[in-house]
Amino acid sequence: MRPSWDNYFMEMTEVVAKRSTCLRRKVGALIVKDKRVLATGYNGAPSGLKHCAETGCLREQNNVPSGERHELCRGLHAEQNAIIQAALHGSSINEATLYCTHQPCILCTKMIINAGIKQVVFKGAYPDKLALEMMKEAGIKIEEIK
């Protein structure tokens, strides 16, 4: 049996997440438009910098709970990396769908809104109610796949 398009793209996010260098949570993201993958991203340190496996996790060292103090991290989020990859390669993501292994945080949500992404499909929950509220306010269709 063939998977639905949503399940097909969500399975791809799981493969992308395997490239993550984060010690706490492996996250993968895909930006899709017209059933075509435009960009992918996973969470980890910026290109050319040491990964957390080498430096240790700042968030763990400082006992920072999930969903708080995003600035205390060496890494970029998967959604951020996907948006940056699209920009680097000149791909318009306006009206696209973002697939992600986890619900986007508030920082990624603001980028998603301003990038013109129209739909977000995710699998895993994340403790950020404001992010969901802002996506709804912006008219972004939200779908959680269980």
22 is in an annotated binding site: no
Instruction: Check if the beta carbon of residue 97 is closer than 8 Å to that of residue 143.
Output: no
* Burial label, 143 (beta-carbon count in 10 A; 0-12, 13-18, 19+): exposed
108 is in an annotated binding site: yes
Write out the two tokens for 42. 């996973």
Q: Which residues are catalytic?
A: 79
102 is in an annotated binding site: no
Instruction: Check if the beta carbon of residue 103 is closer than 8 Å to that of residue 132.
Output: yes
Maximal C-alpha separation, the chain: 47
Distances, alpha carbon 112 to alpha carbons 29, 86, 109, in Å? 12, 12, 5
Distances, alpha carbon 2 to alpha carbons 5, 9, 13, 30, 95, in Å? 9, 12, 17, 20, 26
Binding site: residue ranges?
77, 105, 108
Binding site for Zn(2+): residue ranges?
77, 105, 108
